[in-house]
Structure 1
Amino acid sequence: MKAMVMNGPGGPEVLVPSELDDPRIESPHAVLVRVQAAGVNPVDTKIRSRGPMRAATGPTVLGCDGAGVVEAVGTEVTRVRPGDSVWYCSGGLGGMRGNYAQFNLVDEALIQPLPAGLPIDQGAAAPLVLITAWEALHDRAGIRPGQQVLIHGGAGGVGHVAIQLAVAAGARVATTVSSAEKADVAHRLGAECAINYREESLIEAISDWTQGRGVDIALDTVGPEVFRQTIPAMALYGDLITILDPGPDIDLSEARLRNLRISLELMLTPQLRDIGEAQARQGWILSQCAELMERGQLGIHVSESLPFTQAAEAHRQLEAGGMSGKLVLRIDP
């Protein structure tokens, strides 16, 4: 099969085209997918620059997110069958199982039928960010109707789906953006309050929006400085979740005074630690998101689709920052 591989860490130029053996089904619960599109995520660029997250020998095929058509299934697979269109987050963490390739082997627990009417590039762009946002809002924070929620980076990959999931859960949403255009995007997604962090004070804007109370839930998708700035914007006993490492030097004294519950979210843990039950739940999360999509309550913004041979260019664009939505690689048949 054709694939884009890395033989060692480095810049985008380490991604090179290669010919690899087609994967073979060796497990009764495995699904062989002919990949049609792969999502590009920040974790891809980190693995490319630092090295695989899972120990492996030989080349690494990146790409956690994929969508395509089932080619063959193991003897005990019941959820999908050959010819079905599917989406999933699986592979891409080290070794030759990844989605920057024509085929990928996926465990049945992680795979779901593609939502009806969803274009294949949107299906490939969605799983990692959907599962991340769902786990942060539902599993970590226990989001409830009527709560006031702050989503940082509302036009970004995780941010733009987190806004929609929070609104679908009955919450009221504020978000941070970097431009008037991105504020318009956030409002269309359902955010009541869009704060341009380049022009406005986060604390003052949140205080005005919550009448001085602070937000019940905040999701940091940006990094340590934003995490620190968010603490005084929280309501007492609120939930502050980050998808990034908050750093070693953070002062949590104000968080303690507010009795905040602080959570870390990494949706890759079930794959990294081979936790079957958690992998099955992530498959269930995709099924719940599919229902929201089919009801018109959830959508995925793809900023650009590129041929998978341009994986290096996709990484350059992602690392440049400021992107709205997701990038996708289209896989040659």
Structure 2
Amino acid sequence: MNVIEIQETGGPEVLRLVERPQPTLTSPEALLIRVAAAGVNPIDTKIRQRGPMLPAGLPTVLGCDGAGVVEAVGANVTRFQPGDAVWWCHGGLGGAAGNYAEYRVIDQHWVHAKPQTLSLLEAAAAPLVLLTAWEALHDRARIADGQQVLIHAGAGGVGHVAIQLARLAGARVATTISSPEKAALAHELGAEFCINYHDEDVVEAVMDWTAGQGVAVALDTVGPEVFRRTIPAMAYAGDLVTILDPGPELDLKEARLRNLRLSLELMLTPMLRELPQARMHQGQILHRCAELIDRGELRLHVSHTFELAAAADAHRLLEQGHVTGKLVLDLERDR
């Protein structure tokens, strides 16, 4: 089978198309899945640059998100049968093989029935961003009906689903964007107020929108500088969540004065630490999101697709920044 493998760290050029033996079932709980599509996420580019997060080392295959069709099942598998269409977020961190590959073997407990109304290509774009946004808003910030919420980078991968999940929770949403086209998408997804950070002071705009109170919840999807600059935009006793490392140089005096709750969100932890209860919780989240998707209340925006052999081009585009929605490797295009 064809896979995209990295044998050394570096730029996109280290992503190499190679042929490897097709995997076989390794346990009674395992599924053999023909991968139809794989999501491309920022974590993939970081591992490519810095090396795997798990000790298995190099060479390795990237890709946490995937969707495909079950081809064979282990003797103890009860949840699936050959022919089932599934989605998952598993692998690609340096331990289990990732999804930039034509076939995967995965324990059944990481895999879930894909939403009926999503194509396999769309489904491959979804799990990581859905889990990240849901955990950030519901598990960390405890979002509530009627709150005013700020979502940074609302046209991005996590941001565009976070806007929708916040609206479904009854919140009013403001978001940062960088162009009129991204503002149009954010409004379409439910954002009430868009702030073009190139032209406006984000804190001033938020304070105007909230009548000087600040937002009850903010989600940083960008990085340390945005996290720090969001603190003055927060309401008293608000929740500020970041999905990135806020960095070592962090002055929390203003956050302390505002009695803020500061939260860190990393949806990869159940994989990194082998946490079965957390894995089960994430499965419940994907089930609930699938219901929302199939009711037409939540959607995924895929802006670009690439064949497997063009994975390096996908990484280059992602690292340029300002990608709208998600990027996906379409493995069916190669077959």
TM-score (norm 2): 0.97
Corresponding residue SS for 2:17: strand
Quote the offset at 1:74 in angstroms.
2.1
Quote the offset at 1:33 in angstroms.
1.0
| CA distance, structure 1, for counterparts of residue 325 and residue 189 of structure 2 | 12
Partner of 2:194: 194
Give per-residue Cα distances to partners, 1:60-82, cap 9 Å, x unaligned: 01000000001112222222221
Corresponding residue SS for 2:283: helix
Query: Which amino acid is the alignment partner of residue 182 of structure 2?
Result: K
Runs of at least 5 residues in structure 1 that lack an aligned partner in the other structure: none
Give per-residue Cα distances to partners, 1:81-114, cap 9 Å, x unaligned: 2100001101011156110001112222221111
Distance 1:275 1:200, change over 3 A: same
| CA distance, structure 2, for counterparts of residue 325 and residue 253 of structure 1 | 35
> Is the deviation greater in 201-210 or in 128-137?
201-210
Does the 8 Å contact 2:38/2:125 carry over to 1?
yes
Corresponding residue SS for 2:93: coil
| CA distance, structure 1, for counterparts of residue 295 and residue 108 of structure 2 | 25
| CA distance, structure 1, for counterparts of residue 326 and residue 124 of structure 2 | 10
Partner of 2:162: 162
| CA distance, structure 1, for counterparts of residue 94 and residue 279 of structure 2 | 18
Partner of 1:174: 174
Partner of 1:151: 151
Corresponding residue SS for 1:33: strand
Query: Which amino acid is the alignment partner of residue 263 of structure 2?
Result: S
| CA distance, structure 1, for counterparts of residue 207 and residue 95 of structure 2 | 48
Partner of 1:6: 6
Distance 1:59 1:96, change over 3 A: farther
| CA distance, structure 1, for counterparts of residue 209 and residue 108 of structure 2 | 44
Runs of at least 5 residues in structure 2 that lack an aligned partner in the other structure: none
Quote the offset at 1:27 in angstroms.
2.3
> Is the deviation greater in 6-15 or in 56-65?
56-65
Quote the offset at 1:230 in angstroms.
0.4
Query: Which amino acid is the alignment partner of residue 82 of structure 2?
Result: P
| CA distance, structure 2, for counterparts of residue 157 and residue 20 of structure 1 | 31
| CA distance, structure 1, for counterparts of residue 117 and residue 224 of structure 2 | 38
Does the 8 Å contact 1:63/1:98 carry over to 2?
yes
| CA distance, structure 2, for counterparts of residue 183 and residue 54 of structure 1 | 38
Corresponding residue SS for 1:24: coil
| CA distance, structure 2, for counterparts of residue 74 and residue 284 of structure 1 | 23
Corresponding residue SS for 2:318: helix
Partner of 1:312: 312
| CA distance, structure 1, for counterparts of residue 90 and residue 299 of structure 2 | 21
Query: Which amino acid is the alignment partner of residue 24 of structure 1?
Result: T
Partner of 2:211: 211
Quote the offset at 1:239 in angstroms.
0.5
Partner of 2:271: 271
Corresponding residue SS for 1:235: strand
Summarize the alignment of residues 275-294 of structure 1 with structure 2, pairs less than 5 Å apart.
275-294=275-294
Summarize the alignment of residues 92-107 of structure 1 with structure 2, pairs less than 5 Å apart.
92-95=92-95, 97-107=97-107
Percent identity of equivalent pairs? 64
Partner of 2:61: 61
Q: Does 2:22 correspond to 1:22?
A: yes
- How much is the aligned-residue C-alpha RMSD, in angstroms? 1.1
Q: Does 2:83 correspond to 1:83?
A: yes
Query: Which amino acid is the alignment partner of residue 115 of structure 2?
Result: P
Does the 8 Å contact 1:66/1:124 carry over to 2?
yes
Give per-residue Cα distances to partners, 1:220-250, cap 9 Å, x unaligned: 0001111011001101111000000101011
Query: Which amino acid is the alignment partner of residue 148 of structure 1?
Result: Q
Does the 8 Å contact 1:59/1:95 carry over to 2?
no
Partner of 2:329: 329
Partner of 1:258: 258
How many residues were matched structurally? Answer: 333
Query: Which amino acid is the alignment partner of residue 287 of structure 1?
Result: H
Corresponding residue SS for 2:158: helix
